[in-house]
Amino acid sequence: MSYAAIIPTSYAQWRVCIEQRCRQPLTREFCERRLAALRDAADSHTRDFRRLYGESHLAATVSWFERALAEAVSAPAGLVSVSSGLAPHAG
């Protein structure tokens, strides 16, 4: 499998990667933590991300987290957004 098949190039692909492959719900808290780290140029993980994937993919990832955060904030209480729609939060 090539890296191109693994690295998401769209919001929909990215959501599948995060929520289904990684099994990480895109909650408000998670999105806020990731955005804070990704916006911190001094963060070592952000520096590595920029070096490995480039500035344009970093910018896309930030925009995807911003969109997921907006969706998480607007979701009804007790529901989390998943790629196929809204589902009850399991935990």
Section 35-63 average pLDDT: 97
DSSP 76: P
Residue 85 φ/ψ, nearest 5 degrees: 140, -155
Q: In this structure, which long-range contacts are made by residues 6-12, counting pairs with CB atoms below 8 Å and at least 24 apart in sequence?
A: 7/53, 7/57, 11/64, 11/67, 12/83
pLDDT digits (tens, 9 = 90+) for 62-83: 999 999 999 999 977 655 554 4
pTM for the full model?
0.79
* The predicted structure's pLDDT at residue 6: 84
Q: What percent of the chain has pLDDT over 70?
A: 78
Q: pLDDT at residue 2 above 50?
A: yes
